[in-house]
């Protein structure tokens, strides 16, 4: 349900993921008003995480495939830790929304997700390892 609401918000605004979508996801997950969250969120860290999947140089995207972009989005949210709480949950929801918007579906057990996301947040896993893990659990919807 949350994923559908966020997707609707993305389409209504006519834009890619931005700080408003990030705060809306955090609001829904943490049950704290987005305006209040904005005051305690490290906005530059969140914006950096949201921009990272779309990084390019010389006209070449660093991450060409939507599944790679989704993994980088989640990884950077977890690693940048912009929220006081809920970073892993927000990362998972936004990753799933981005994948669904691009015709992909992520499937993993709650235990697998918990173990991997804790490892990424704690920097026990590299981003390349995380990208490979996400790719191995993602298929066309």
Provide the 10 A C-beta neighbour count for residue 59. 5
Domain range summary for the chain, segments of one domain joined by +: 2-140
pLDDT at 15: 43
Nearest Cα residue to 50 out of 83, 28, 27, 12: 83
For all residues of the chain together, what is the average pLDDT? Answer: 91
Average pLDDT of the segment spanning 63-75: 97
Residues 6+ apart with CB under 8 A from 83: 26, 30, 37, 40, 41, 42, 46, 90
Q: What DSSP character marks residue 132?
A: H
| pLDDT at residue 66 tops 70 | yes
| pLDDT at residue 79 tops 50 | yes
**SS3 labels along 66-93:** HHHHHHHHHHHHHHHCCCCCCHHHHHHH
Percentage above 70 pLDDT, the chain: 89
CATH for the 2-140 domain, from 3.10.580.10, 1.20.120.1870, 3.90.1660.10, 1.10.443.10:
1.20.120.1870
The CA distance from 140 to 130, in Å, is 19
The CA distance from 32 to 28, in Å, is 7
| pLDDT at residue 33 tops 50 | yes
Structure tokens at 55: 């990084």
């Amino acid at each position: 349900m949350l994923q559908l609401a966020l997707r609707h918000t993305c389409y209504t605004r006519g834009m890619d993921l931005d700080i408003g979508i990030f705060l809306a996801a955090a609001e829904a997950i943490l049950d704290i008003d987005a305006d209040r969250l904005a005051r305690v969120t490290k906005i530059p860290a969140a914006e950096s995480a949201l921009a990272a999947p779309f990084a390019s140089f010389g006209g070449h995207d660093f991450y060409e495939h939507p599944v790679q972009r989704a993994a980088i989005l989640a990884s950077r949210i977890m690693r940048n830790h912009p929220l006081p709480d809920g970073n892993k949950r927000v990362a998972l929801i936004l990753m799933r929304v981005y994948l669904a918007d691009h015709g992909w579906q992520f499937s993993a057990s709650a235990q697998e997700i918990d173990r991997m996301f804790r490892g990424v947040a704690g920097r026990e896993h590299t981003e390349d390892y995380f990208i490979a893990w996400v790719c191995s659990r993602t298929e066309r919807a």
